[in-house]
Amino acid sequence: MKNSRNIVKQKLLPRLSNLHIITLRWAKRLLITCIAITLMSMIFHWSAGICLAIIVGFLLIRSLIRLVFRMIITLIYILLILLIVSLILL
């Protein structure tokens, strides 16, 4: 009985089960469009060099934050491995 209900739901509303995927895809497209329009307006009002400096600075800060988080995770893994080895040796 359960399987037949699921089959009927899938036939009647095939895209409803994937609604969150479709919504996220359209939200991402809308966000990219808004960012592109904002960048174009910045380029028209300011010089291109300032806009490129802002973009490069943002990307640099983002990559540095990712690097710091990866280093912290690596240090935690090393500490856990040392703790496990010391417990085994004791």
pTM score of the predicted model: 0.42
Residues 38 and 52 in one domain: no
Q: Are residues 36 and 52 in the same domain?
A: no
- pLDDT for the residue 79: 92
Q: Same structural domain for residues 57 and 76?
A: yes
88 in the same domain as 55: yes
> Tell me, what's the pLDDT at 82?
92
Residues 41 and 16 in one domain: yes
Average pLDDT score over residue span 7-26: 65
Residue 44 phi/psi, 5-degree rounding, is -70, -35
Same domain assignment for residues 1 and 24: yes
**Residue 31 lies in domain:** 1-45
Question: How much is the pLDDT for 3?
Answer: 58
Instruction: Tell me what percent of the residues of the chain surpass a pLDDT of 70.
Output: 77
Helix (H) or strand (E) holding 78: helix 48-89
Q: Does residue 68 have a pLDDT over 60?
A: yes
Report how far residue 62's alpha carbon sits from residue 2's, in angstroms, rounded to the nearest whole number. Answer: 48
Residue burial 1-15, b: 16+ Cβ < 10 Å; e: rest? eeeeeeeeeeeeeee
Segment 41-64, tens digit of pLDDT: 777 777 777 777 788 888 888 888
- Judge if 52 and 90 occupy the same domain: yes
Structural domains counted in the chain: 2
Integer Cα distance of 61 and 68 in angstroms: 11
